[in-house]
Amino acid sequence: MFVRAYLRASTAEQDATRARAALDAFAASHGFRIASRYVEHESGTRLARPELFRLLDDCGPGDVLLVEQVDRLSRLSSADWSKLRSEIEARQVRIVSLDLPTSWNLIAAPDDFAARMFSAVNAMMLDVLAAVARKDYDDRRRRQAEGVSRARTAGLYKGRVENTASNAAIARSLKDGQSWREIMIGTGCSRTLLAKIARRLKNERSGDASGTDPCAVEDIA
């Protein structure tokens, strides 16, 4: 059995490795070692997350996917969560989360009956926490939209401030031929932001750009 830790943050401005100390301490207190760590800057609402699926590809039956909280794994819609859960179950990977004590028993179940019982309870609790994480996301988005609407009505909304220095560095890396994976690891940017900058550069090269700076891309989560 190998334990693989998944650390995720939504944006490059957030520290995806923040939970590393807590995960390491949990591992030490339960007598096992984390075999590898997978760090990602992607929204938990996206099913397509390269590092998460690289982790799953590296897993064998009985391996553990360790997270700090269930919302690090999923803020997915119900349909996408069902797809991810089915993928994890098909690979016989066990999810252990620090905020879900019922999952801790999966690390070293005493026998097959206990393992099956713990798995059933854990699956139910994971569904509940995944639904709560999605609701929290939807509620925050709704409140944010309401706040923006009020600010626009009052003439106060100016939009998100662009990180021009970071975007320029990403654009230079793309021009230098670095791979997307190298850029994401080196800069901590999200795949969404990288795709926006790549499209802008492509338009500039093809002559479709309207004279705007290819680095002037909104910094998004």
Do 201 and 121 share a structural domain? no
Q: What is the pLDDT along the chain (221 residues), one digit of tens a residue?
A: 899 999 999 887 788 899 999 999 999 999 999 999 999 999 999 999 999 999 999 999 999 999 999 999 999 999 999 999 999 999 999 999 999 998 998 887 667 777 788 888 889 999 999 999 999 999 988 998 888 888 888 877 666 667 888 888 899 899 988 889 888 888 878 888 888 899 888 888 876 544 444 444 443 34
- Same domain for 179 and 126, yes or no, is no
Give the sign of the dihedral formed by CA 133, CA 139, CA 143, CA 144: positive
Residues 164, 128 share a domain? no
Q: Which residues contact 121 (CB under 8 A, 6 or more apart)?
A: 102
Same domain as 69, residue 178:
no
Q: At what angle do helices 164-175 and 191-206 cross, to 10 degrees?
A: 60
171 and 128 part of one domain: no
Residue 159: per-residue pLDDT: 64
3-state secondary structure 32-79: CCEEEEEEEECCCCCCCCHHHHHHHHHCCCCCEEEECCHHHHCCCCHH
Per the structure, the count of domains in the chain is 2
pLDDT at 34 (0 to 100): 96
Are residues 22 and 102 part of one domain? Answer: yes
We report the CATH number of the domain holding residue 97 as 3.40.50.1390
- For residues 124 and 170, state if they share a domain: no
Asked if residue 105 and residue 51 are part of one domain, the reply reads yes
Residue-range definition of the domain harbouring residue 34: 3-135
Per-residue model confidence (pLDDT) at position 157: 65
CB atoms within 10 A of CB 119: 18
Q: Tokens 């080196």 — which residue?
A: 186
Question: How far apart, in Å, are the Cα atoms of 219 and each of 53, 132, 175, 196?
Answer: 25, 27, 19, 10
pLDDT of residue 158: 67
Residue type, 70: V
Q: Contact at 8 Å (CB) between 54 and 38?
A: yes
Q: Tell me whether residue 111 is in a domain.
A: yes
DSSP state of 207: T
73 within domain boundaries: yes
Domain boundary pick from 135, 151, 177: 135
Same domain membership, residue 206 and residue 105: no
Same domain as 118, residue 25: yes
Task: Give the predicted TM-score (pTM) of the model.
Answer: 0.69
Domain-embedded: residue 87: yes
As separate numbers, helices (DSSP H) first and strands (DSSP E) second, the chain gives 9, 4
